[in-house]
Structure 1
């Protein structure tokens, strides 16, 4: 009995579960139907949204088309206004022409003819000063101006080259300030400026002026300024047109004149360089010819002398070698000067032992020192015994100063050579007790090819290049050379070279 009861209970539970399953299936079917409806509604919403976006695009496109239509209308309106303005300008110009009397038209024609004739005349003038004067005078006459100035452009500066009916002090007066600013505006824009009846401070008259650029192939050559200061008279548009036409033609003549002047200047420089070269060659030939001929004569005598004693032969040969070394030294000084490349690397490439360098220079002039019985004093401070520099350059500088102190000294005189370190500079002094230098010659002794008064008297031959070379070489180091001299007592040369 218990089993049957349990079976019935289980069957009852199964039926209840089946019933619940059926209910769940019904709920699931309902949910699926709801989902399908929702999806369909979602699709409809998407279609509605796309339709809305399409509608928005259509509206936006129509708006753009409307904007384009408005812009097109505005452009047409603007073009119409421009056409109206052009027509108005044309009518005003025609009215102005109609107002001109026969005499005025004839005057304008005559002025234009005169401009063409004047410019033909100007084209033959190559002197810039004369040309500028004529240009300014003609333009003042053509436009009935009272005063005028031509400014020329030079290295980004505006320089008043010529002025008529102006006083120089007028350029600084207050009433000229306004036109001056307009002149610089004309330079900046390369366009003409025309102002009539501009008030002048503290004056009853008014100023009318033109600023017209002088240009050739877009290159600014200068500016023409003309004005009228009057309470009644002024420039007309016709005057302004005539001024522009005249300046346009005159610019060609001015350019040709400036070009011609530059060519002449370059030719003069070239001729000057050629003359310097020829003079240099002549001077060097003169300086080398005499000692070379003397050496040649002595060599011939030695060759023809037969069996000379060995001691005498060696003495003659030693003297000849010394003379050849002097000539070689002169040539080397010139070569060093001409071929010098003043780069930092070249200027400081050597370690120079100053004392040894001075000793070697003095040895080259031992014969002259003995012949004149000169006393030599050398004083080198410890800081200057070894310095950085170009040995060939320093040798040329010191050799020239020391040799001059020897050759231009008196019998039994004194030569003092000093080297010291002062601040950030090396100081070299060469002092002699010779004839000295005249006061009027002191400013010229460093000039190229200049020789002092005592050189011929002391039978000292030279090209006049020595001190010129010394100064140039000292300056290549950023240094200076000065001279103090008293005629009849001697000279002192001082060289200062930065200690790098």
Structure 2
């Protein structure tokens, strides 16, 4: 905006100078009335130029100013585009289209910087007779003008931005006053064009920033890939004023799929393998490309030439160091719009953002697919777990009664209540009772494990100390029979536990029973009980065989036994320690184990507890 203001200020200064000259001409002994008229017309022209903000509105005002000062029969304005190095005629009057087309054709034959020399300050009295117009003699005669004047559009910095050409139908001798007026008018036109150009560039820059912001928001908020791909091509085409465009995404490294915008319907844009072509060149090199003349490019493809592609700009879709595809924009059917470096920079910027957005959406889609698959697997697992639990519960329920009946009848047989048995029959009865008891224990373990897994436990206040003392009493006789020392170390007061006493008793039964299995005669089993804050800390330690380090991590697995196969000396279901872990964790506790071969094993349980409120002493009865 600063450059725009400076250019406008220069035009205002020019206007002030013209007003001063007009005021000076009004004084006695001033110049001729014709000079006063020209200065007044120039002043009015400068005033009219100030309020204009677009070139189409400026051209009629220039026409009026020229006709009020130099009275030409025809006029043409030529503008130089420094970005594309071209010269063109955006406005003319009184001239035929054939003549203008011929002039534009001459301009296209060489770069604009060279063509600017044709717009040097000249005054030709009769172009039909002037030798310098021999090459244009026929077209000049056909057009019908004689005199010609050209004035370069030079701004305050001495930069030529084009020129204005004036034509008269009659022969006009050189007039220094008219030449000065022409230069002054051309200078004012140059300042006005610069002012409008800078204003337009500033407005377009703001518009581009707004469009870039909209593109960035779209890339960051669009939830699905097809919508993003279709939107980004359309928005970038609008950003750089391209006719058409497309995105090509690389699939499996050697296939590219296309997402077009405003591409002719007849074109076949099926997934393309890795051949020649600008699209694959961009992906292969991961570099942008700007092509001013697509049909002449060695990598141009015939179907795109047939579609009318004239200019091409493309950039890679980058995500970190990976090239996911390419973004290409192009103009069709001899469009006068040429892409420049600014357009390429914009496409590169959007390509980087789009690449990151595409990668993020792909990762999101993959994550969602994995999450959906995992959710389906978890749901299936939950269904299987429920089926397993239901089966276990049904089987356990159905087995209890027949096992009880079998055990009862086997006990009757063994007691000879139903008749005297020989030794083989007695032995068979005992085997039946032992096996039935083993199956009954297995059913009870499965039932308890199921209850612990499903958190179907009773909640009651349990005196932990009394629980341990009752356990000691139950196992004391067995310890004496096996010649094992059963000891207790209780550091009172001990917190109580809120839980299921039956299941907790099964925990300690399993641990103590295991200790008896693996502790030889003369060994020791110790129960330690103490408080850690309001948590209950319990240890069951033995001086038995110990557990190998390579098997210590698996002892809580279902049906796992340290001894396996025919070498097993200690029978069991393999569910005891699993049950311990499940019940303890159902009480929000933890269980751990330490062991050393030949030294023994220690199981440690930590369960949240609480100290009960003290019961107030009853008041003594009156005597």
TM-score of the superposition, structure 1-length normalised? Answer: 0.44
- TM-score (norm. length: structure 2): 0.37
Question: Which one has more relative contact order, counting CA pairs under 8 Å at least 6 apart?
Answer: 1
